[in-house]
Amino acid sequence: MDKYMIQTPRLGLRRWSKEDLTPFAKMNKNSKVMEFFPHTLTDDESNSMVEKIEAHFDKYGFGFWAVELLDTGEFIGLIGLNIPSFKAQFTPCIEIGWRLSHEFWGEGYASEGAKACLDFGFNSLGLSEIFSFTAVVNKKSMKVMEKIGMEYVGDFLHPKIDKNHRLCKHVLYKISSR
């Protein structure tokens, strides 16, 4: 079986392995990586996130892929498609998301991997639209959404975040299949 479910010129996107747990836990403890999430994650929280991601793959055949550099085999984070678990006007839906280890930012990896995930969503899964959302203060993530051709739909208050919290207000982006 192929190691990668998705491949780009520089990245391999695959199911998760035991070896990913330590570097993933390390990035989930990094305050820069987690700046736009309510809190950093403990090792247990990070490991249980991987369990949930793998359960999502088992159930739906897609999820947040573990991403590695083809050149070196290094694990650099996650990029992928997911079914959000909260209720909002636009759910149920499929979202695209990303989280990379800080030392690999600014190389275009998020956009490169995300474009390939959109192709997978539209061409292999037959989706008609894919959403993405992030806190309004997360300009880097919004830039990735725009670079991969997504369009701003509007703002919403994230139902799982206290309405007075700095991360409650979110932007919603969308892209439709052509």
Residues lying near ligand COA in the complex (CB under 6 A) are found at: 33, 36, 97-100, 105-111, 134, 138-141, 143-144
Determine the angle formed by the axes of helices 21-28 and 43-60, rounding to 10 degrees: 120
- Tokens standing for 58? 């088992």
**Cα–Cα distance measured from residue 131 to residue 126, given in angstroms and rounded to the nearest whole number:** 15
Nearest CA to 132 among 173, 71, 98, 86? 173
Q: How far is the CB of 128 from ligand COA (least distance, A)?
A: 22
Please say which residue, 73 or 108, places its beta carbon nearer to ligand COA.
Answer: 108
**Cα–Cα distance measured from residue 82 to residue 63, given in angstroms and rounded to the nearest whole number:** 5
Please say which residue, 52 or 143, places its beta carbon nearer to ligand COA.
Answer: 143
Alpha-helix runs per DSSP H in 86-150: 109-119, 139-147
Q: How far is the CB of 84 from ligand COA (least distance, A)?
A: 11
Q: How far is the CB of 104 from ligand COA (least distance, A)?
A: 6
Q: How far is the CB of 155 from ligand COA (least distance, A)?
A: 14
Prior bond to 92 cis, omega within 30?
Answer: yes
Please say which residue, 80 or 97, places its beta carbon nearer to ligand COA.
Answer: 97
Q: What is the phi-psi region of residue 37: left when phi exceeds 0, alpha when psi lies from -120 to 50, beta otherwise?
A: beta
Please say which residue, 50 or 144, places its beta carbon nearer to ligand COA.
Answer: 144
Q: How far is the CB of 62 from ligand COA (least distance, A)?
A: 18
Please say which residue, 87 or 139, places its beta carbon nearer to ligand COA.
Answer: 139
Determine the angle formed by the axes of helices 109-119 and 139-147, rounding to 10 degrees: 50
